[in-house]
Chain A
Amino acid sequence: MTATEDVVHKGLLELMHHELPDAQDIRIEDLRRISEGLSRENWIFEGEWNQGGDAVRLPLILRRDPEGSLLETDRRTEFDVLKPLESSSLPTPRVLWLDEDGKFVGRPSMVMVREDGECDWFVLNGSRSSDVRLGLARGLVGLLGQIHLVDWRSLGLDSVLTDPGPMASVAEVERWEGVLRGTQLEPHPEMELAISWLKARAPKSQRTVLVHGDYKPGNALLQGNDISAMLDWELAHLGDPLEDLGWITNPYRSREHQIPELWQRKQIIEHYVAETGFQVTESELTWWNVFSCYKLATIILTGISVFVEGNFDVIYQAPMSLYRVMFELMDVAEQAD
């Protein structure tokens, strides 16, 4: 067992004893860090204990903040978003315990029930038949619609998340500008151009919905050809529904979200509108596409920063092809004016 594994193992046991005061014979089996996950450390294990005479054995996953990450997010908020969503019809992971300040496992963490399944970033262009892939694509957009239709007020999410009101667009630009300012290692005129452009043209939102914030096939848990859960809610917030739609129709991410000739921007929008009844204005969606490039670029620049600090093990480069797509989208929007 490595030193880190030892810290996590001992910390997890302490956390479980704290959360399960009446349990006996608490054990952790097969603990190991898996390679997946760029923003959090993911540790899988089997949790075992006796509760009131019954033996319990659960496949669990610990999501622990790394030393450095692409995303600086708050485990408390993610936990408090996921907990009430368990009572909704959305397929979300079941969260069990929170180590908010890392008192037990060294860094902020939460433990969730681990469901069987597969996450595949490029499933829509993978080896499954085109009919199956098209069904998955429709299912993903349908599920996005369900997320946006969730009654977040009745679930109490307004006590966890802030409603930014009709100028959710500006709130998001400023939120990511704050991230950029906190992490950038050098000037990026490309990003200043984007910030200036986005602020000058920010649209009003039609309504406030629960936004996933990183909606993609890579965050969907698949069991066979069915989507069994949507994972990774660390960027969830209240905002404009077009934010998620702009994220999945971003041309830069088409290999993840689209199927050539079968499932492209037009089909995604049509299906989303049919599922939600919401209006989608092309110019507003293009604005959110530009925003998606800007947000993703900020995430990548954060990755560069934490790599240079020595706290991240993936080497990103300045996002040149992403900038190019972003500038092209700006041109598209300006020509449509």
Chain B
Amino acid sequence: MRPGMTDQLSGIRRILDEIIAPELREGYPSQVLRGIVKNLAMLEGAWVHILPFLEWDTTGTAALLEDAGPHVDDDLGQRITDAVKQELPSSSLEDLERRNSELRGLLAEAIHQLAPQTDAAALQQRIKEHLVERTRRYPFRMAIAAPTSAKA
């Protein structure tokens, strides 16, 4: 598959940066374009990591939810049970994203129920550690053209 995803992202970035940008006068459109070019450069390197990241995060979140089950109310506990017994979707990125979001939603709910429970302190710590590790593995990075100096 050539041009592949990386080829195409790289090519679009080059065209915007080398062909279009020099033709724009300084102002709002050129600032927006600088941001787009930076973002495309970030995506070139990031997109291949999306699938492994989602698989790791979904699996880790499911494990945390299983442990949270006994500490939450019956309604949330049942929804967690139903969600974690499903197998990891392998058919498409979209399915995996949907599953990941579903489990993260359950984790978000569980966090509020776990917070006042002192006997769940170790689990709360593991949740925090997972979220910290998630920040390290997250494939996308902020790539904006930060304002530096401007006449007011």
C-alpha gap A120/B131 in the complex (Å): 34
**Given A32-B27, A35-B27, A327-B128, also A189-B111 (CB < 8 A):** yes
C-alpha gap A37/B138 in the complex (Å): 28
- The residue in B28, B136, B143 that gathers the most chain A C-beta atoms within 10 A of its C-beta is B28
C-alpha gap A186/B112 in the complex (Å): 17
Number of interface residues of A (CB under 8 A): 46
Q: Which listed segment binds B: A144-152, A279-287, A315-323?
A: A315-323
C-alpha gap A193/B128 in the complex (Å): 8
A38: chain B residues within 8 A (beta carbon): 147
**Given A231-B152, A327-B131, also A189-B107 (CB < 8 A):** yes
Chain B residue, CB-CB nearest to A220: B152
Chain A residue, CB-CB nearest to B103: A187
Distance in angstroms from A296 CB to nearest chain B CB is 12
A36: chain B residues within 8 A (beta carbon): 147, 150, 152
Q: Is A18's CB within 8 Å of the partner chain B? A: no
Distance in angstroms from B116 CB to nearest chain A CB is 8
B35: chain A residues within 8 A (beta carbon): 313-315
Distance in angstroms from B108 CB to nearest chain A CB is 4
Secondary structure type dominating chain A contacts? mixed
B111: chain A residues within 8 A (beta carbon): 189, 192-193, 196
Number of interface residues of B (CB under 8 A): 39
Distance in angstroms from B148 CB to nearest chain A CB is 6
B39: chain A residues within 8 A (beta carbon): 315
- Type the 1/0 row for B67-105, where 1 means its CB is closer than 8 Å to any CB of A: 000000000000000000000000000000000010011
Distance in angstroms from A293 CB to nearest chain B CB is 12
Contact of B28 among A34, A118, A122, A221 (CB under 8 A): A34
C-alpha gap A200/B27 in the complex (Å): 46
* Inter-chain contact A34/B142, CB cutoff 8 Å: no
Contacting residues of chain B (105-137) with chain A, CB-CB under 8 angstroms: 105, 107-109, 111-112, 115-116, 127-128, 131-132, 134-136
**Given A33-B28, A314-B32, A320-B138, also A186-B101 (CB < 8 A):** yes
**Given A192-B112, A193-B128, also A319-B150 (CB < 8 A):** no
B31: chain A residues within 8 A (beta carbon): 35
* Inter-chain contact B27/A34, CB cutoff 8 Å: yes
C-alpha gap A88/B133 in the complex (Å): 49
**Given A35-B28, A186-B104, A315-B144, also A221-B128 (CB < 8 A):** no
Q: Is A278's CB within 8 Å of the partner chain B? A: no
Chain A residue, CB-CB nearest to B130: A189
Contacting residues of chain A (183-202) with chain B, CB-CB under 8 angstroms: 186-193, 195-197, 200
Distance in angstroms from B140 CB to nearest chain A CB is 4
Q: Is A324's CB within 8 Å of the partner chain B? A: yes
Distance in angstroms from A157 CB to nearest chain B CB is 24
* Inter-chain contact A193/B135, CB cutoff 8 Å: no
Q: Is A80's CB within 8 Å of the partner chain B? A: no
Distance in angstroms from A43 CB to nearest chain B CB is 10
Distance in angstroms from B31 CB to nearest chain A CB is 4
Contacting residues of chain A (25-56) with chain B, CB-CB under 8 angstroms: 32-36, 38
* Inter-chain contact B108/A314, CB cutoff 8 Å: no
Contact of A120 among B127, B132, B140, B150 (CB under 8 A): B150
* Inter-chain contact B140/A318, CB cutoff 8 Å: yes
C-alpha gap A61/B107 in the complex (Å): 46
Contact of B135 among A122, A221, A324 (CB under 8 A): A324
- The residue in A121, A315, A319 that gathers the most chain B C-beta atoms within 10 A of its C-beta is A315
Chain A residue, CB-CB nearest to B101: A186
Chain A residue, CB-CB nearest to B43: A315
* Inter-chain contact A320/B135, CB cutoff 8 Å: yes
* Inter-chain contact B107/A117, CB cutoff 8 Å: no
C-alpha gap A186/B105 in the complex (Å): 8
* Inter-chain contact B138/A318, CB cutoff 8 Å: yes
* Inter-chain contact B115/A200, CB cutoff 8 Å: yes
C-alpha gap A324/B132 in the complex (Å): 6
C-alpha gap A318/B141 in the complex (Å): 8
Given contacts A118-B152, A221-B152, A315-B144, 13 further A-B contacts (CB under 8 A): A33-B27, A35-B147, A61-B152, A114-B152, A116-B151, A119-B147, A120-B148, A187-B108, A190-B135, A197-B115, A316-B142, A317-B140, A324-B136
Closest A-B pairs by Cβ, 7 of them: A187-B105, A35-B31, A320-B135, A36-B150, A187-B108, A192-B108, A196-B115
